Structure 1
Amino acid sequence: MPARPPRLVGRRTELESIIQALTGAAVTVLIEGEAGVGKSRLLREALHTHAVQARGPLVAMCLPFKEALTLQPVVDAVRQARTGPAGIEFTALTGVLRPLFPEWAHELPPDPGPLGDAGAARHRLFRALGELLEGLGIEILVIEDLHWADDATLGFLLFLAAEHTRRVSLVLTYRPEEVPAGSALRSLAARSTAGAGHVRVRLAPLSVSHSAELVSSMLDDEHVSDAFARLLHQRTEGLPLALEESVRLLGDRRDLVRSHGEWVRRTLEEISVPPTIRDAVLERFARQPPDVRQVVRAAAVLTEPADESLIAHISALPAPRAMAAAAAALRSGTLIEQAPGRIAFRHILSARAVHDDIPLHIRRALHLRAAQALEQTKPTPLARLAHHFREAGAGDRWCHYAERAGDLALASGDYQNAVVMMQMLLAEGELPTEAVVRWCQKFPVFACTGYLGGTDLIRTLRSLIDDAALDVVERGRIRLQLGRMLVFTGEYGAGVAELECGISELADRPLEAVGAMSALAQPSEPSLSVAEQRRWLDRFTELARTTLPPEHRLRMLVERVTAMLGMGDPAGWKVARQIPATVSSPRDAVELTRADMNIGDAAIRWGHYGEARQRLTIGHRAAVERGLLRMRDLGAATLIHLDWHTGAWEGLAERAAAAAADAGDEPVLRLDTSLVTGHLTAAAGDLDAAADRLLDVLVDSRARGVFHTSLETAAALARVRLAQGHLDEAMRVTEEGWHAMLRKGVWLSAAYIAPIRVQVLVAAGRQADAVELVSAFARGARGCPAPLLKASLATCRAHVIDASRKPARAAAAWAAAATAWETLPRPYEALLAREAQARCLAAAGEGEGAHALLVATRDGLRELGAGHDADRLVGTLNSAGPKSGSRNGRRGPLGYGDQLSPRELEVVRLMLAGLTNPEIARTLARSPKTVAVQLKSAMRKHGVASRTALAVSVVKAGIEPAVPMEEASWRGLADQQQVQDLLLQVMLGDPGAES
């Protein structure tokens, strides 16, 4: 007796939860489980209920093709819903859907044109597709086998799932064990576990009793013997598909008999149950008549559901015989009707088992017939044609359709698919030279974030460069792409060499070479010194000025500003003011957003936190409005980093974790958010976890060449190691970071590593080395007026003076450092400096002042969220209460006492900026005599007799220059550096300096 299709058993709870979810508001339902566990069957049962069916669910499936079509399952679902968009009102945005729905082009709005940013194009496409779903009235979108989905499909589903006003419910099935590392599906699954509007169903294999029930449902509901049920469960591990295939096979063999009202085998020991689904499928397939086998093979080649006429054509059987064979396959359960008029295998595993067993020559012929038949269909199924022609061995036709599918992937921002297509074409396509160059120039290099997911593409490009058929220009074009890829994948030296060689080969084509010059000028490149990059920047600037057409100039201006600010060049801020506030073209709007992001990021490294927040907020808002996804996410991550520095810690750990989850395969996002998480973990007192996290970030940032991040991470890790008592490791980490900074020559980045390096040297008893480092730092920082450098240098000096065991001077030095940090503001560093100041005050006999300062510092740390540090100070306060004997004295005249009056402060701050008395008088519209009187009054209040001594004293008090240092004269900068050097000598007790 033929076995019946099995009932759904053992899934009542899961079924009810899915039905309930799909009959309410928009929801995301994820059904996960291993192959053959019954995900599709459970889903079909839910979709066939009246309440769910009334909402018109659309079902599509992802296919296991290497040549995945961008957004293929979503496009398939839409085409199921409507044959065209007639009668639906759309905005102009939906014109971007023309490449996905070419057959609808005459009814869709005009294409709004390309965007300069691939991320923006992708987001615009997602918005248009969402609008299309809503316009079609689609309420439930079902996509099966999501582990095979292309990157764009996953991005669109993430986009839909995050929409608060969406009307479409999503139902997604996938195998967790087959989700690739770094897949956006992991983010989608993680996001679905939080809050309302999400249902997650995990299917496990059936129990013995449920296995017996399933088998019984296939055999007229007759009872199955316990021994037989246990044997089947043991051999199939409770997988419903394996149970079904085994029962059908045993029926085909006539191995099942009924005895005393139950199904048994004459001798259980003789029953041979195939150990795998593949074995069962192939044995059943071998027992079918020849015509049925030919039809089943045709269905296996197609993989996806298809109508009988297409399967008959591919089988090459006469139509009557093919139709009869298809009917027989349906009766036997080998194939099923998945939708009216469309038949396929019940499960992809069965299809793959049959497909892989077909002899090669027959399989190629079947694929060729499939490709030739699909070539006649409209719209052209690009990825399917590429797949079938490739399997058929028709290389030229495969290359044609693969390139067209790759173009669609690039237009949609589906970089993962584009990488796959390019690698296959270049490695196997035997393309003409012009096609190779064309494809190389199309490829988005920034898609190579991380390590490219493998090095086959790089190896392929290297082999192409050696092709004698290439001329010099063609070789140069490919070499530039290879150089960029090598830089992205961490092979910096090799990448730089290829870029330099490519620039030489494109000497007669400056417009093509200028982008590579710009890349070599960026300070993030760790293998070039800042002097070398300055030469590339000068060359790039001159070339851009003389050869670039107007439409490219804003982009190159942004590149120049980014390079200059990254190098620590104050002139970069003046060049930044050349960037216009508004633009008219979409291309320039993207560049303006990028300018805000880059300058905001640079402002953090300079310590201009107010400007950083303003720039990043504007840039992030523009990125959101323009759909620039990558810039949006980078802006959000950089704002998280800024909030760490400025003390906005409330909810910061959760924001960092959410940003990391959304980062996908974008390494810069992961590094930034992981670094902030490491900082917060250390501040919370979990030093072991912080060290692990920071070490991972350090290794990754060095491998990826993110120079500034690597130094900040090294500093944070060394601080943790020092707190743990691992002085040797802290010494090693800071030494590596300091020497990397010296090799690079970007003294701006020394602000991160120098303070902890000095602290470690002092802790190791190497005071002379610490003093030498501070002096080198001061000399190197000369001419770079970054507030962060000032605060960092003040902290370095405080460590050195603290080690000299002169507590009163050390307290003053720590006060100056704290003031510098507070000015930024950087509250955590400031509070730690205040703690050191209090310690030194106590050592100097200022007990009351020390106690009051410790109490204020404790309260500040607690308010900030640094509970571990606050608790540590509680112990200090409990062990030493306030002491008497503090020295409080006032000098100077009444009125402002020993404090400078506002008018005196104006004069002193201009003096610190390097202005002479006449220059100060002109600036303030006062007479030179008045300025001289006010300076003398300031000297009297500070107890000094010269301008230099006054400068030393006011710098110790934390007073800053009046004008931005980048606008001060070089003479003023030199004077200021002399003041800083004198200050260090004074604090170290050099009597000659004070004179």
Structure 2
Amino acid sequence: MTPPRTSSSVLVGRGGELAALVRTVSAQPSVVLVEGEAGVGKSRLVRELVRRPEVGGLRVLAGFCQPLREPFPYGAVLDALRTVRVRGSLSPVTGVLRALVPEIAEWLPEPPARPGDPRHERHHLFRAVREVLAAAGPALLVVEDLHWADDGCRHLLRFLMSDPPANLAILVTYRREDAPGGMALGAAYRPPAGVTGAVVELGPLDRAQVKDLAAGILGVNGVSAEFAAKLHERTAGIPFVVEEVLRVLPEADWRLLDDVSVPALLRDAMAERLDRLPVAGRRIAQAAAVLGVPASEGLLARVAAVEKTRTALNHALHSGVLFEHDEMRYGFRHALAQQAVYDTLTGPERQRLHVRALEALEDVTPRPVMQLAEHSRRAGRSADWLRNGEAAADRALEVGDPSTATHLYQRLLDEASLTPADVDRLAVKLGQVARGGIDQHDPRTTLERLLNDRRLSREARGEVRLNLGFLLVRQFESVVQARMQIELAVEELADHRPDLAMRGRAVLGQPFVGATPLAEHLRWMRVVDSFIERCDDPAVRYSLLANELGSRLSIGDRGVLAELDRLPAGADDVETRRHLARANCNLADACMLVGHFDLARDFLDKGLRLTVGAGVPFTASTGQSTQIHLDWYSGDWGSLVSRAGRLLEEYRELLPVAGEISLVLGCLAVARGDWEEAERYLAESGVRSVENSITPIALGGFAALTRLWLERGDVARACAEADRGVELLRRKGVWAWAGELAPAAVDAWCAAGRVEDAAKLVEELSAGIADRDAPLAGVAVRVCRALLAVARDEDAVFLLQDARRAADELGLAYYSAVLSERIALCGDDPAALGEVADRFDALGASRDAARCRHLVRGAGVATPSRRGRRGYGNALSPRERDVARLLSQGHTNREIAEVLFLSPRTVEQHVARVLRKLGVTSRAELVT
């Protein structure tokens, strides 16, 4: 793997501060104080400042203070003078600098006689520095890390800042916590009249800014929201700490962040601050490090076992080791600072402090079970660790935090001293929470290991295997393995847990998983239906109905909608709410697949409301992906790309969710003409491994790829994708899912002259949905027959109009526009294509709109005058937005011309306007 950069090429989150610096230093004489804690980005901000063209006319003179015990007097300012080049005569007083700054001696006069009074000698030096700076101007004097400066340097800077030359800007950076009295110059400073001044305080980055910074450092388009949140939590948004963490992180996986060691520079900085503390202050800091969360003064005192707590705490606060997080609660700035102090403790010291923390927290009400669990474990008290750890995991599950519960159950199961009963109980709990959560890999590893654990009983082994199968069924490349595990679990559970065995059969009966023929799924579904009829346990019955009703509805079973009264409208207990949430989200997805879009939205609204507080993030995630897919069908594309992109980042590892979102993003890219992006997304829809796919999503992927290659003029590749899709459709046998694939395949086959193959598919589809409730496939039949009529040179306008009416009834905005284009072409009415182009533009289908306008131009139809149309001024027009989007993806003018059906000359003109309006000087800058 290529190692990440150590910093971002783009300044993140400092636009306002940078603008303030530019304004101030451009108005000499001026003084700027930049304040911020270590690593917050003061030096980076200064580097960005000196690169700005507005500062290009200033000579930058930079000096740096060093953390030396015996700093060289005036060192930082004198270092800055080494690069001065002075033309013209200087007064004799400047000669005092010849010995101090020999690099500029040739421009200085001979030194005057030394005065006998040291005060006069210092005054000569100060005057000399000021005069040289004035002669070197216009200039920007930068002095960094002023908190480390000697007193002489501070006095010299106060002298300069009190009366700076008219052509000089002075900028200093410092840490308030390390500066004398918390002030940059050791005393209060206010710019005198006529001097422009500014104080810029740099704070940590927020979560969104950390997300952008991480992407910039790693050189990727983006990182997941989960990774950004964890990175922000670990680093408190301090840019240097973010950079150091990413420098040693092998990949952008949030699970690895807790194991990242403290960066060396941060460790050394914290050790230095600890060394400056008195013993009591150091013990308070160490107690805070062991507690791990902000704590009250009283709790810190009990754990640290110090008497004069207030004084010790003040020392730790003033030194910047500890911070006040909220009212009277104290801790570290970020997790890595806490870890740095924790690492200074020896093993016996850590254990002793954890025992004290455990004893102190036992008296707290309500019991902080999470903290008690951690201190029990680190104190080496096994029984307490099991008791408190399990209680903490159970509590996390109760409050809807399955990720924390999963982590705790896993850690408990790693203990070698557990009894078989403990292993059984914890293993079953882990499987149950993993099944409803979205954490994929860690639970899988633990569950697979447990299947080989001799302490696990046969009864518990079957349930663990079943939950492992449920987990695998939603992972990429694991569907086949999932079915094998579930079938084994059904055999193991059949005798002693028939309810669980039946849940396994219900999943095996779900038809939309993999390439297994429908007949096999129906065999399992009949067994489950029979069990439901005689089941007296409402919880078991609702759990099975949640799968069964959605499965049957998804294949077009006409009887399902009449059976919805088998589910209650609501429930007070959490377990039933979870089943109802899953049932409604499954029904919404099934309705969307077959074309009952309004009904799908009703089910989805109810299902997502039921997920709130129910602790079922996986169910919620599937509901959100169904929402994205519904918006694709209805033409609600305004913010669809950004919304879908965010969800894909969050749920990238969940096959059902990521596959569906990738399909939608791929379809959108096809409509915009973003070929490479479309191929990349559609490859993740399941088309490359149909055995391990969500079948209807894979069928949609084949349809989109067929349309893509047809649009690019490669009929052979379009037919190849259609062949693979139809093969999967025939093997699966669920014709209700052919709504998008069948028209695309018929279109491709007719273009290739394979009209008989197309006709055969239409007859198969008609027969396959004859007794099915499948409105979307019904529209597809109409579209296919119209396309066949076109291919046979028959009058197809009426058939196309009939298909469009059917599409409009379902609310299929995009496909209605596509059919309108076909109607205009078949009816030899190119003028109507202009209106169709407007419909495509309104959706965001820029490639389709461009194709229609190209056809209008090719037919020689006069286009309406632009008089009366809105002017865009400095804003981008719709066509310029299309060009800008393609430019930002790195496309050449010729490629853009191909996508938008424009001439290269026209594209060149659009590119020039885009660059001008966006205020960038090159295509490369736009890409950045």
Q: Shorter-normalised TM-score: what interval? A: 0.5 to 0.7
Cα contact 1:751–1:788 (8 A) shared by 2: yes
Q: 1:520 to 1:692 in 2, by over 3 A?
A: same
Deviation at 1:522, TM superposition (A): 1.4
Q: 1:404 to 1:569 in 2, by over 3 A?
A: same
Give, as a single letter, the amino acid of the residue that structure 2 aligns with 1:500. E
Aligned to 1:439: 426
Deviation at 1:239, TM superposition (A): 8.2
User: Is residue 2:40 matched to residue 1:37?
Assistant: yes
Aligned to 1:821: 807
Which runs of structure 2 are paired with 1:44-443 in the superposition (5 Å)?
A: 209=142, 211-215=144-148, 222=155, 240=175, 276-283=265-272, 285=274, 296-306=285-295, 310-311=299-300, 313-315=302-304, 349-428=336-415, 430-443=417-430
RMSD over equivalenced CA pairs, Å: 4.8
- For the residues of structure 1 that align with 2:371 and 2:819, how far apart are their CA atoms? 65
Cα contact 1:634–1:669 (8 A) shared by 2: yes
Aligned to 1:561: 549
Give, as a single letter, the amino acid of the residue that structure 2 aligns with 1:403. E
Cα contact 2:729–2:738 (8 A) shared by 1: yes
Which runs of structure 2 are paired with 1:729-878 in the superposition (5 Å)?
A: 729-803=717-791, 806-811=792-797, 813-842=799-828, 850=829, 861=840, 866=845, 868-878=847-857
Moved more, 444-453 or 752-761: 444-453
Deviation at 1:210, TM superposition (A): 6.2
Cα contact 1:437–1:478 (8 A) shared by 2: no
Deviation at 1:716, TM superposition (A): 1.9
- For the residues of structure 1 that align with 2:377 and 2:639, how far apart are their CA atoms? 47
- For the residues of structure 2 that align with 1:684 and 1:402, how far apart are their CA atoms? 52
User: Is residue 2:475 matched to residue 1:471?
Assistant: no
- For the residues of structure 1 that align with 2:151 and 2:287, how far apart are their CA atoms? 27
What per-residue deviation string (whole Å, max 9, x for no partner) do you get for residues 197-253 of structure 1? xxxxxxxxxx99463443459999655899xxxxxxxxxx978499779x99xxxxx
Aligned to 1:545: 533
Q: 1:591 to 1:497 in 2, by over 3 A?
A: closer
Moved more, 575-584 or 540-549: 575-584
Q: 1:624 to 1:370 in 2, by over 3 A?
A: closer
- For the residues of structure 2 that align with 1:621 and 1:351, how far apart are their CA atoms? 39
Which runs of structure 2 are paired with 1:592-991 in the superposition (5 Å)?
A: 595-616=583-604, 638-647=626-635, 649=636, 652-654=637-639, 657-658=642-643, 661=646, 665-666=650-651, 667=654, 672=660, 675-697=663-685, 705-803=693-791, 806-811=792-797, 813-842=799-828, 850=829, 861=840, 866=845, 868-880=847-859
Q: 1:387 to 1:617 in 2, by over 3 A?
A: closer
What per-residue deviation string (whole Å, max 9, x for no partner) do you get for residues 467-522 of structure 1? 23333212112111111112132311222222121121111221222222222211
- For the residues of structure 2 that align with 1:595 and 1:277, how far apart are their CA atoms? 51
Q: 1:33 to 1:392 in 2, by over 3 A?
A: farther
Give, as a single letter, the amino acid of the residue that structure 2 aligns with 1:471. S
Cα contact 1:461–1:482 (8 A) shared by 2: yes
Give, as a single letter, the amino acid of the residue that structure 2 aligns with 1:529. P
Deviation at 1:819, TM superposition (A): 4.5
Give, as a single letter, the amino acid of the residue that structure 2 aligns with 1:553. R
What per-residue deviation string (whole Å, max 9, x for no partner) do you get for residues 666-712 of structure 1? 45566555544543443344445444444455579979843322322
Give, as a single letter, the amino acid of the residue that structure 2 aligns with 1:561. L
Give, as a single letter, the amino acid of the residue that structure 1 aligns with 2:385. W
Cα contact 2:424–2:456 (8 A) shared by 1: no
- For the residues of structure 2 that align with 1:704 and 1:365, how far apart are their CA atoms? 52
Give, as a single letter, the amino acid of the residue that structure 2 aligns with 1:379. P
Give, as a single letter, the amino acid of the residue that structure 2 aligns with 1:395. S
Aligned to 2:227: none
Aligned to 1:120: none
Q: 1:587 to 1:211 in 2, by over 3 A?
A: same
Give, as a single letter, the amino acid of the residue that structure 1 aligns with 2:271. L
Cα contact 1:568–1:748 (8 A) shared by 2: yes
Q: 1:238 to 1:375 in 2, by over 3 A?
A: farther
Cα contact 2:686–2:695 (8 A) shared by 1: no
Give, as a single letter, the amino acid of the residue that structure 1 aligns with 2:532. A
Cα contact 1:691–1:721 (8 A) shared by 2: no
Give, as a single letter, the amino acid of the residue that structure 2 aligns with 1:480. L
Cα contact 1:208–1:238 (8 A) shared by 2: no
Q: 1:658 to 1:869 in 2, by over 3 A?
A: closer
Deviation at 1:866, TM superposition (A): 4.7
Give, as a single letter, the amino acid of the residue that structure 1 aligns with 2:638. A
SS in 2 for 1:466: coil
- For the residues of structure 2 that align with 1:854 and 1:287, how far apart are their CA atoms? 78
% identical equivalent positions: 32
**Which structure would you say has the larger RCO, counting Cα contacts within 8 Å and 6 or more residues apart?**
1
What per-residue deviation string (whole Å, max 9, x for no partner) do you get for residues 965-990 of structure 1? xxxxxxxxxxxxxxxxxxxxxxxxxx
- For the residues of structure 2 that align with 1:332 and 1:594, how far apart are their CA atoms? 53
Deviation at 1:410, TM superposition (A): 0.7
Cα contact 1:718–1:733 (8 A) shared by 2: yes
Q: 1:378 to 1:701 in 2, by over 3 A?
A: farther
What per-residue deviation string (whole Å, max 9, x for no partner) do you get for residues 607-632 of structure 1? 33454455555666777899998877
Deviation at 1:664, TM superposition (A): 6.9
Cα contact 2:750–2:788 (8 A) shared by 1: yes
- For the residues of structure 2 that align with 1:12 and 1:764, how far apart are their CA atoms? 56
Q: 1:481 to 1:570 in 2, by over 3 A?
A: same
- For the residues of structure 2 that align with 1:549 and 1:495, how far apart are their CA atoms? 27
Q: 1:419 to 1:852 in 2, by over 3 A?
A: same
Cα contact 1:493–1:527 (8 A) shared by 2: no
SS in 1 for 2:557: coil
- For the residues of structure 2 that align with 1:349 and 1:635, how far apart are their CA atoms? 37
Cα contact 1:448–1:489 (8 A) shared by 2: no
What per-residue deviation string (whole Å, max 9, x for no partner) do you get for residues 856-914 of structure 1? 756765666656534533443454479xxxxxxxxxxxxxxxxxxxxxxxxxxxxxxxx
Q: 1:524 to 1:389 in 2, by over 3 A?
A: same
What per-residue deviation string (whole Å, max 9, x for no partner) do you get for residues 801-835 of structure 1? 433xx322455554554454344343432443343
Q: 1:241 to 1:737 in 2, by over 3 A?
A: farther
* Structure 2 unaligned residues grouped into runs of 5+: 1-13, 21-34, 43-139, 160-171, 184-262, 862-928
Q: What is the TM-score with the length of structure 2 in the denominator?
A: 0.59
Q: What is the TM-score with the length of structure 1 in the denominator?
A: 0.55
Give, as a single letter, the amino acid of the residue that structure 1 aligns with 2:650. D
Moved more, 480-489 or 788-797: 788-797
Give, as a single letter, the amino acid of the residue that structure 2 aligns with 1:873. C
Deviation at 1:336, TM superposition (A): 7.2
User: Is residue 2:474 matched to residue 1:488?
Assistant: yes
* Structure 1 unaligned residues grouped into runs of 5+: 1-10, 18-31, 40-206, 227-236, 249-273, 843-849, 883-995
